[in-house]
């Protein structure tokens, strides 16, 4: 959300966003998402309480005049009405509505607990939509190698280096584009993650080799301005943008035959974590530190990937679907397929000892 749009929000919301930035150290993206969700919420509240001109398009409803007296009138049932509206009229899925619940609850909690402006928090019991739990999508080891081998073109050293860091270090897109030359020291890389939290990532031989090859053909001397320290540069000698990186990743996914399968830069992060757990046998606590997760539960989803593979392996057994034709029947059921090896067939022709 632009600064000009933030200034059109209610004063209490603007102050809350400042709190998120200054005290909670939330990223600009997170703050922008909360601002957008709260703007939608208060526009609907004005309509619901009959204080907005219905002839005015929803996206043009002015909420700047909303004050504490109006906020005190908002009830829990109003919030559920808003969530129903988001589902039926705005086609928001469960994840989008769940994010709005978080934004609303945290805002009202701030007014109640931090500022003491509300005697009771009407949103304390606001429930979030139940989300479908799905396993992270990731590339196999063979697909990852194929992706790396597909890199070509005039910027092949840069593009190969970016893909190598994604697949080996599990970086977020925002973390990769924000890397500076000074973040690389010997075999370590300083990464600035969510909430401006820094972590140290150790670089393996593949990362070191890719970085050396890239820096050898992309000199940074003579660059000026705020992008002079950027590690990854665009063709204009500026810090590479997230959209450009997404385009590059998509291009080589297509070239490696992996296009159209839902893979993305973030799926490369999933891939790094999964390969570490499956093939590197790295402890989940270490993977948590590598990825910069705040909560171990977020990291543990990668252990579920292996559980699902074990389940699929069990179901892949050709005997897995064979059942007795009737309970208690002795001998080999007529509908059972008996699979034997060649050596077993030869042994069956011999007379018993």
* Catalytic residue chosen out of the listed positions 34, 214, 263, 302: 302
* Catalytic residue chosen out of the listed positions 194, 199, 220, 255: 194
* Catalytic residue chosen out of the listed positions 105, 110, 172, 288: 172
* Catalytic residue chosen out of the listed positions 190, 220, 237, 266: 266
Distance, CA of 298 to chain centre: 10
Query: Which has more confidence, 227 or 13?
Result: 13
- Can 194 be counted among the known catalytic residues? yes
Q: How many whole angstroms separate alpha carbon 258 and alpha carbon 153?
A: 18
Buried b or exposed e, range 303-326, using 16+ CB within 10 angstroms: eebeeeeeeeeeeeeeeeeeeeee
pTM of the model: 0.63
Domains in the chain with CATH codes: 3-114 (1.10.150.130), 141-312 (1.10.443.10)
How many other β-carbons are positioned within 10 Å of the β-carbon of residue 283? 11
Mean pLDDT of 141-167: 95
* Catalytic residue chosen out of the listed positions 269, 270, 277, 288: 269
- Can 266 be counted among the known catalytic residues? yes
* Catalytic residue chosen out of the listed positions 26, 105, 270, 293: 293
Q: How many whole angstroms separate alpha carbon 29 and alpha carbon 147?
A: 29
pLDDT band at 71 (very low <50, low <70, confident <90, very high): very high
- Can 302 be counted among the known catalytic residues? yes
What would the pLDDT profile of 192-210 be if each residue is shown by its tens digit? 888 778 898 989 999 999 9
Mean pLDDT of 304-321: 64
Query: Which has more confidence, 178 or 284?
Result: 178
Mean pLDDT of 210-233: 87
- Can 304 be counted among the known catalytic residues? no
Question: What pLDDT is attached to residue 336?
Answer: 41
Query: Which has more confidence, 298 or 34?
Result: 34
- Mean residue pLDDT of the chain comes to 85
pLDDT band at 316 (very low <50, low <70, confident <90, very high): low
């Amino acid at each position: 959300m632009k600064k000009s749009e933030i200034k059109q929000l209610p004063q209490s919301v603007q102050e809350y966003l400042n709190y998120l930035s200054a005290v909670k150290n939330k990223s600009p993206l997170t703050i922008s998402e909360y601002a957008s969700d709260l703007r939608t919420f208060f526009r609907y509240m004005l309509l619901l309480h009959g204080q907005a001109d219905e002839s005015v398009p929803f996206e043009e409803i002015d909420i700047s005049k909303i004050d504490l007296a109006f906020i005190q009138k908002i009830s829990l049932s109003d919030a559920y009405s808003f969530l129903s509206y988001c589902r039926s009229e705005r086609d928001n899925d469960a994840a989008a509505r769940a994010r709005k619940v978080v934004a609303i609850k945290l805002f009202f909690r701030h007014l109640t607990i931090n500022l003491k402006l509300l005697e009771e928090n009407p949103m304390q019991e606001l429930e979030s939509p139940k989300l479908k739990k799905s396993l992270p999508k990731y590339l196999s080891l063979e697909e990852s190698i194929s992706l790396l081998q597909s890199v070509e073109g005039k910027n092949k050293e840069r593009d190969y280096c970016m893909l190598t860091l994604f697949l080996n270090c599990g970086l977020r897109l925002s973390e990769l584009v924000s890397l500076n030359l000074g973040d690389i020291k010997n075999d370590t890389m300083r990464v600035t993650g969510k909430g401006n939290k820094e972590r140290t990532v150790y670089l393996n031989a593949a990362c070191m080799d890719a970085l050396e090859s890239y820096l050898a053909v992309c000199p940074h001397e003579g660059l000026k301005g705020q992008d002079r320290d950027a590690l990854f540069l665009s063709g204009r000698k500026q810090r590479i943008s997230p959209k450009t990186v997404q385009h590059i990743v998509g291009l080589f996914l297509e070239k490696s035959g992996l296009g159209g399968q839902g893979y993305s830069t973030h799926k490369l992060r999933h891939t790094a974590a999964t390969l570490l757990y499956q093939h590197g046998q790295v402890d989940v606590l270490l993977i948590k530190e590598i990825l910069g997760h705040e909560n171990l539960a977020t990291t543990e989803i990668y252990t579920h990937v292996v559980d699902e593979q074990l389940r699929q392996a069990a179901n892949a057994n050709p005997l897995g679907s064979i059942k007795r034709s009737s309970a208690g029947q002795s001998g080999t059921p007529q509908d059972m397929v008996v699979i034997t090896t060649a050596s077993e067939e030869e042994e069956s022709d011999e007379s018993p000892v």
